[in-house]
Structure 1
Amino acid sequence: MTDVRKGQWPGLHPRDVFRQRFLEQFTDPAYRAEQDALDRLEAIAWDAYREGRKAPLTRKAGPEFQDPDYDLSVAWYETRERLRLAQARWGEAATPSRVLVIACASRNDGSCPGEMSKTYRLAKIAQETLDAGGVESDFLDLSLLTSDYRRHIHPCKGCVSTAMPLCHWPCSCYPNHATAQVGDWMAEIYERWVSAHGVLLLTPTHWYQVSSPLKLMMDRLVCADGGNPDPTATGGKDAAKAKELELAGWPYPKHLAGRTYGVVVHGDVAGIEGTRRATCDWLDWMGLVDAGAQARLDRYIGYYEPYATSHASLDADVAVQEEVRNAARALLNAVALLRKGELSAPGRELRAPRPK
């Protein structure tokens, strides 16, 4: 059955609910002097919401797309162009080797915790090792989601579960100006992944799983694993067209395949092995190639010791610091082999009988 199932969404907010939600961002009494202006802005925002003006700035898709006359989001098109150019540079022999180091903790000293994270310290150790090895390092600190003004990774909406071609590469769900789902960091993050020859992820363990910033990014990278690079082929977000397209035979392109990776997971009580395995399995599924056993690390720091002394525990654990350096060194070696076309990935040439 390919019918599109409906009935879950409760519909648009009533005007009074919308107004309350819009004005919440202006709770500070300093805004009261501009109440008339806020009322006018709220009326404009209400019209955009009611009319569904998701992408107010568009351009004709042009001859490179299936439907040249489709009105493409300018923001999406510009992101797509940056990814296309980044992928071209990635494949050029003259391009310097680049490793993306991602500190995935949510804690930093510019927000409520009042202290930097151990993950950040470990990531900086890794970055120093990579820099000494002669590659370009790109440091991505996901904790900025908790401390920066209007920086977001909005949640994945699950388009892929309706049909793979409905999930566009890069993601076209955001920005959505009608619902004020803006300030999305992923447009930049996609480009940083595409530009990297290697990726090193470092995450704490939260309730037997990765940190919430990392999970947000992971889910939004689903479009890199089978996503549709032509939104006009599905008429934008036309679920029925997307289902037809998938059933006609979809190739499930892996847009980040061939890069190499390392993973460092740390915790204080439980869950590190499962978290490390799940993270590596995710990267394997997307077609990345692991950099060897020493680049897949899980360790406890300050096992069952007080949270208050966890940084002191890391200070004392020189072994784990060196193991993180080794993870970075292993990734350096893998990137060098990748650039020479010698990175071993047995079975990579085999065709999956059940691609997804």
Structure 2
Amino acid sequence: MFDWLKRGEPAPEPRKGMPSPRLDEAEFKRRYRERFYDPAFDKVAAEVEAVAEIAWQAYAQSRKSPRTRKAGEGYADPDYDLSVEWIAAKEAIHSAQRRHDENGAARRILIVNGSSRSEHTCPGEMSKSYRLAVIAREVFETTPDFEVELLDLARLASEYGRDIHPCKACFSTSAALCHWPCSCYPNHSLGQVQDWMNDIYPMWVAAHGVMIVTPVNWYQVSSPMKLMMDRLVCADGGNPDPTATHGKDAKKAKELELKGWPYPRHLAGRLFSVVVHGDVEGAENTRRAVSDWLKFMHLIPAGPKAELDRYIGYWKPYATSHDELDQDEAVQEEVRNAARTLLTAVLAQRDGKLAAAGQMLSEPRQK
């Protein structure tokens, strides 16, 4: 328990003072109609106006979650109206956890392609990250009793209806305000829908091992990778019961956290591998940042060879970067070795032979 609660002091009031982002009706509808810019919609202009009016009413009334049901047994407030979409996301996570824990089942590997480049959109060419991810996938696919899922984040830029909305940083107000899974989205009143994270959370939960392959973009991971990383904050200390904070009641969340929050690590114990490749600079720092992020969430590094940072076509023209990868058979084999290291660690963990020194020690502090 924190000192000010011991002294009987109330939790701090949430700080306010930023300008309102609310739009008036005319501006809202102007922006909404931009979705129908194609002249093909002109013949249904009246219908578009009718839909715009409905959207305006949802916005004006802040109808974030228009379909709800009572939380029911097992929640702090069984009578609280929970979003049916959030309930479905929670059930998907529970199902994934059951698959993860099932004795005798195949080991599951999640491979993440962190590049946004694809031949199906403006770059006109596949990414080296995708090629390396496929090389890694072949290692697992040729091993009995392994299931592999490839999460291709390039689809954020190339597939209709794929979005990862930005993290709103609820955790920085209070860990208890950051719900697991994230309850910030969908927000129907703001048109923040088609959020991919409700599909991505179960992928991480079901996995026994996670392998991330990402390029360096301006000394950091790619923007799709960062969006996913930020939205996984709820997996590291997030609150599995939104009724305990009555949704997004910041004051209640502060009070709940300061009573003594357990900071549950919902992905703890899973093993990981990280492969980062660059062209000029930043590969080592990016690899370290991704590895540190995973370790902070209590995932376990599979081994030294599972963490790799390399340059492909160092200071060479971008136009020939795939040719450089073709010729760099050493880096291809290093990626295979990273996958083999993760595979070996996952099997050792299954058989109770994985030694992760210090894993069972209690944390002297959480936050």
Larger displacement relative to structure 2 (144-153 or 88-97): 88-97
Cα distance in structure 2, aligned partners of 1:10 and 1:192: 37
Cα distance in structure 2, aligned partners of 1:344 and 1:290: 11
Cα distance in structure 2, aligned partners of 1:260 and 1:56: 39
Q: Does 1:40 align with 2:60?
A: no
Match in the other structure for 2:257? 246
Cα distance in structure 2, aligned partners of 1:11 and 1:202: 37
Q: Does 1:255 align with 2:266?
A: yes
Cα distance in structure 2, aligned partners of 1:294 and 1:20: 54
Q: What do the CA deviations read for 1:25-73 (whole angstroms, capped 9, x no partner)?
A: 1100000000000000000000000101000110100011010000000
Match in the other structure for 1:149? 160
Contact persistence 1:165–1:227 (CA under 8 A): yes
TM-score by length of 2: 0.96
Q: What do the CA deviations read for 1:179-198 (whole angstroms, capped 9, x no partner)?
A: 00000000000000001000
Match in the other structure for 1:351? 362
Contact persistence 1:201–1:264 (CA under 8 A): yes
Q: What do the CA deviations read for 1:75-105 (whole angstroms, capped 9, x no partner)?
A: 0001101111211221121221010011010
Which aligned segments of 4 or more residues in structure 1 are displaced greater than 2 angstroms? none
Which runs of 5 or more residues in structure 1 are unaligned?
A: none
Q: CA RMSD in A?
A: 0.8
Q: Does 1:208 align with 2:227?
A: no
Larger displacement relative to structure 2 (90-99 or 233-242): 90-99
| 3-state SS in 2 of match to 1:206 | coil
Match in the other structure for 1:174? 185
Q: What do the CA deviations read for 1:275-310 (whole angstroms, capped 9, x no partner)?
A: 000000000000100010100000000000000000
| Aligned counterpart in structure 1 of residue 131 of structure 2, from 121, 139, 147 | 121
AA paired with 2:189? A
| Aligned counterpart in structure 2 of residue 289 of structure 1, from 282, 285, 300 | 300
Cα distance in structure 2, aligned partners of 1:314 and 1:354: 44
| 3-state SS in 2 of match to 1:194 | helix
Cα distance in structure 2, aligned partners of 1:337 and 1:248: 39
Which runs of 5 or more residues in structure 2 are unaligned?
A: 1-10
Cα distance in structure 1, aligned partners of 2:122 and 2:219: 23
Cα distance in structure 2, aligned partners of 1:30 and 1:325: 50
Match in the other structure for 2:3? none
Within 5 Å, which residues of 2 pair with 1:87-166?
87-134=97-144, 135-166=146-177
Q: What is the deviation of 1:342?
A: 2.3
Match in the other structure for 1:314? 325
Q: What do the CA deviations read for 1:125-184 (whole angstroms, capped 9, x no partner)?
A: 000011112211101100000011121000000000000000000000000000000000
Match in the other structure for 1:27? 37
Cα distance in structure 2, aligned partners of 1:22 and 1:30: 16
Within 5 Å, which residues of 2 pair with 1:219-238?
219-238=230-249
Q: What is the deviation of 1:9?
A: 4.1
TM-score by length of 1: 0.99
| 3-state SS in 1 of match to 2:16 | coil
Q: What is the deviation of 1:8?
A: 1.1
AA paired with 2:129? T
Cα distance in structure 2, aligned partners of 1:339 and 1:27: 55
Cα distance in structure 1, aligned partners of 2:137 and 2:355: 24
AA paired with 1:133? T
Cα distance in structure 2, aligned partners of 1:73 and 1:242: 19
| Aligned counterpart in structure 2 of residue 335 of structure 1, from 331, 335, 346 | 346
Contact persistence 1:109–1:115 (CA under 8 A): yes
Cα distance in structure 1, aligned partners of 2:244 and 2:237: 15
Contact persistence 1:93–1:339 (CA under 8 A): no
Cα distance in structure 1, aligned partners of 2:60 and 2:104: 50
